[in-house]
Amino acid sequence: MLYILFFILGLTIGSFLNVVICRLETKESIFFARSKCPKCGAVLKWYDLIPIISFLIQKGKCSYCGKKISWQYPLVEIATGLLFVFIILIDPSLTFRMTFFLIIACFLIIIFVYDLKHYIIPDKIVFPAIIISLIYRLDSISEIGYYLLSAFIPAVFFLSLIFISKGKWMGLGDVKLAFLMGLILGWPGILIALLLSFFSGAIIGVCLILFGKKGLKSQIPFGPFLSGSTILVMFFSCIFSVDNFFVFNVFFW
């Protein structure tokens, strides 16, 4: 029953994350504007907004105009629901650390989807996530310098790549996200996440080129790889309930 409740809670929060993702683009109020169909503008009723169920009942189409509903909505809801279940499996007591990871994972999901769609990592998301991470790290004031160093090093590295490529390889949003990753993961967790990001990005990029979806000069957003790798490393370390140095050794072993 606990897992079911947390899955439903995750679905609900995933639905809210979809609202944030969409309204970051339209610049509507996240909390006060009524939900509308993005195709016809019809105001949606409460029963049109039930996570997953509404999508299935409506067969993936708007009940007012009949146009297809983006798969983004159910996929984000399911991903967030599974994430919540995963967290409660790792730590049923929901410690302060796990609660922090859960909140940060929600920010990372928004970054993942928004950058995938618009090739932009929004400051309205990454800056609050950085502030929350800094506040969390202040809980252990003796280690704050360690995490700040883990944040600055990858940020400076990404900034140097921007200067070398004259902005062709990545943008400033990636620099800010790298800084956030360092605050979340520390060292060497940040190194593992970056290696996973570059490795997975290279594989996906090659596959897209081979299947004709992208050209050699086409842009591929890097934010999804960075945020996805951060979530993986974050929870991989929690599974073993040990520090990042052990995770580092397991990864390379």
pLDDT at 239: 66
Alpha-carbon distances of 203 from 42, 175, 199, 210, 225, rounded to whole Å = 41, 22, 6, 11, 11
* Cβ proximity of 139 and 133 under 8 Å: no
Is the pLDDT score of 244 beyond 50?
Answer: no
- For residues 112 and 186, state if they share a domain: yes
Do 246 and 158 fall into the same domain? yes
Question: What whole-number distance in Å separates Cα of residue 24 and Cα of residue 49?
Answer: 19
Q: Where would I find the H helices in the chain?
A: 2-26, 53-57, 72-90, 96-118, 123-137, 144-165, 172-185, 189-210, 223-240, 244-252
Q: Which of 65, 90, 115 lies at the terminal end of a domain, its last residue?
A: 90
104 with 120, same domain?
A: yes
Statement to judge: residues 7 and 105 lie in one domain = no
pTM of the predicted structure, to 2 decimals? 0.86
Rg, the chain, Cα only: 19
- Indicate the residue among 55, 90, 125 that finishes a domain: 90
Query: Domain range spanning residue 28?
Result: 1-90
pLDDT score of 224 more than 60 = yes
Residues 179 and 191 in one domain: yes
Q: In this model, does residue 209 exceed pLDDT 60?
A: yes
Residue 112 is predicted with a pLDDT of: 94
CA atoms of 205 and 38, how far apart (whole Å):
30
